[in-house]
Amino acid sequence: MKYKFISDNHIHSSNSFDAKDSVIMLADRAFNLGLYSVTITDHCDCDVYYKNDLRSSIEGSIRDTLKARGLYSNRLKIYSGIELGQPTQDLDAAQEALSLGNYDFVLGSLHNLRNEQDFYYLNYTAENTGSLLERYFDEMMELIEYGKFDSLAHLTYPFRYLVSNPELKITPKDYSQQIDEVLEAIIKKDIALEVNTSGLRQPIGKTLPDEDVIRRYRELGGKYVTMGSDAHRWGDVGAGIEDGLNMLLKCGFTHFTVYRRREPVMLPIL
Ligand SMILES: [Fe+2]
């Protein structure tokens, strides 16, 4: 490991509907890999918060995280976070979720458009993809306008699934104007940009967002970048973080950011 501070700030535990491993197992893996810190960020998709009783999942996540923090006190820093999905689709749910704990870190994300399924489940055709992406960037701007989160998770998320239709030749470059608007808006609000390394272990083979977008963020004056594997299982904790840090260096960054008590802490990459 060539980096001193390897930190994974997007990890799901068994308190997320799509993950199975306990916080202790995740922490154990991080400790064995020699990570500096981790943040547990279980799902809180606000549009289904009441329907799926996410309050009890989030309370469980906070409880398990605090317990693990005590157990690993001198060995690994364990921060308490949440992945707040679609907060603008149910503002009351978002408010309640944010009041459940003293989070270190809040990720803001957009997994599905209003009244649509997660982008993961959609079929992408030449007819529907343009309009889905227009709506994606519109809702993304709404999310940033809402703004009660620290870092914007996996920008360009739908592109992770567009690759399922090889006939579509649409890339983030085709949406550079919308991406610039998103980057300018987060910079203005001091919201960080996440480098989500999950794409490196999926068919898209790139971080979300990709290197061009990270470079552009820096050109526009962006300072805060958070790193996350988006691990949904023990074996993926820390996956791709070093590749992500290499990429940040290439883009001219000297530091990345970890959030503690919702305040940015700048850590040197080297
Ligand atoms: Fe997510």
How far, in Å, from the CA of 83 to the mean position of ligand 1?
A: 7
- Tokens in use for 202? 């999926």
Contact in structure between 268 and 254 (CB atoms under 8 Å): yes
How far, in Å, from the CA of 28 to the mean position of ligand 1?
A: 23
Mapping DSSP to helix (H, G, I), strand (E, B) and coil, where does residue 38 land?
A: strand
Helix, strand, coil % (nearest 5) of the chain? 40, 20, 40
**Which pLDDT tens digit goes with each residue over 8-42?**
999 999 999 999 999 999 999 999 999 999 999 99
Given this model, what pLDDT does residue 180 score?
Answer: 98
For residues 44 and 53, give the distance between their C-alpha atoms in angstroms, rounded to a whole number.
10
In-domain check, residue 1: no
Strand 105-109 relative to strand 151-152, pairing:
parallel
- How confident is the model over 126-141, as a mean pLDDT? 96
Number of domains in the chain: 1
- How confident is the model over 101-118, as a mean pLDDT? 97
Cα three-residue angle 77-79-81, rounded to 5 degrees = 160
In-domain check, residue 2: no
How far, in Å, from the CA of 47 to the mean position of ligand 1?
A: 14
In-domain check, residue 204: yes
How far, in Å, from the CA of 110 to the mean position of ligand 1?
A: 7
**Which pLDDT tens digit goes with each residue over 147-188?**
999 999 999 999 999 988 888 989 999 999 999 999 999 999
State the angle between helix axes of 211-219 and 241-250 in degrees (0 to 180), rounded to the nearest 10.
Answer: 50
**Which pLDDT tens digit goes with each residue over 73-90?**
989 999 999 999 999 999
pLDDT band, very low/low/confident/very high, at 1 (cuts 50, 70, 90)? low
Residue 197's closest CA among 7, 2, 5?
A: 7
For residues 110 and 129, give the distance between their C-alpha atoms in angstroms, rounded to a whole number.
16
How far, in Å, from the CA of 86 to the mean position of ligand 1?
A: 10
Question: What are the counts of helices (DSSP H) followed by strands (DSSP E) for the chain?
Answer: 8, 9
Count CA within 13 A, CB hemisphere, residue 115.
1
65, pLDDT greater than 90: yes
| Domain around 36 | 7-268
- Tokens in use for 70? 């005590």
How far, in Å, from the CA of 153 to the mean position of ligand 1?
A: 6
How far, in Å, from the CA of 167 to the mean position of ligand 1?
A: 26
Alpha helices in the chain (DSSP H): 23-33, 54-71, 91-99, 129-146, 159-162, 176-188, 211-219, 241-250
How far, in Å, from the CA of 221 to the mean position of ligand 1?
A: 25
Residue 41's closest CA among 136, 141, 143, 151?
A: 151
**Which pLDDT tens digit goes with each residue over 228-255?**
999 999 999 999 999 999 999 999 999 9
Given this model, what pLDDT does residue 2 score?
Answer: 83
- How many residues appear in the chain? 270
How far, in Å, from the CA of 41 to the mean position of ligand 1?
A: 9
In-domain check, residue 257: yes
How far, in Å, from the CA of 162 to the mean position of ligand 1?
A: 16
Q: What is the pTM of this model?
A: 0.97
How far, in Å, from the CA of 109 to the mean position of ligand 1?
A: 6
In-domain check, residue 191: yes
Contact in structure between 132 and 113 (CB atoms under 8 Å): yes
For residues 5 and 112, give the distance between their C-alpha atoms in angstroms, rounded to a whole number.
33
CATH number of 94's domain: 3.20.20.140
State the angle between helix axes of 176-188 and 129-146 in degrees (0 to 180), rounded to the nearest 10.
Answer: 10
